[in-house]
Structure 1
């Protein structure tokens, strides 16, 4: 079994919408380079803003 990592040792990014930092998640392992938003809410808010212009 793999050793556990401390949460503070995980990679961190800033959300493109709200600017808050968010940490790597196991479900994002394959697509971490493409992840830009911390949540579905931020992703949908960004889309709403893009369509209004």
Structure 2
């Protein structure tokens, strides 16, 4: 039996993070954002919808 049932074996505190543009909360790097981490601006779909539209 594995000591880590979820499969995660790293240190989450070592992952990069940055603030959400809309709410300012820190958001941690996610595997699904690996390819476009530089373009990620919002922590959630709710913040993305609530953000003012530029233009």
Q: TM-score range by the shorter chain?
A: 0.7 to 0.9
Q: Where is the helix percentage greater, Structure 1 or Structure 2?
A: 1
How far apart in 2 are the matches of 1:43 and 1:31?
16
Matching residue of 2:31? 26
Coordinate RMSD, CA, aligned: 1.9
User: Which entry has the higher C-alpha Rg, 1 or 2?
Assistant: 2
Gaps of 5+ in 1: none
Matching residue of 1:13? 18
Q: Deviations over 1:9-47 (max 9, x none)?
A: 00000000000001000000000000000000000001x
TM-score by length of 1: 0.80
TM-score by length of 2: 0.77
- Greater relative contact order structure (CA < 8 Å, 6+ sep): 1
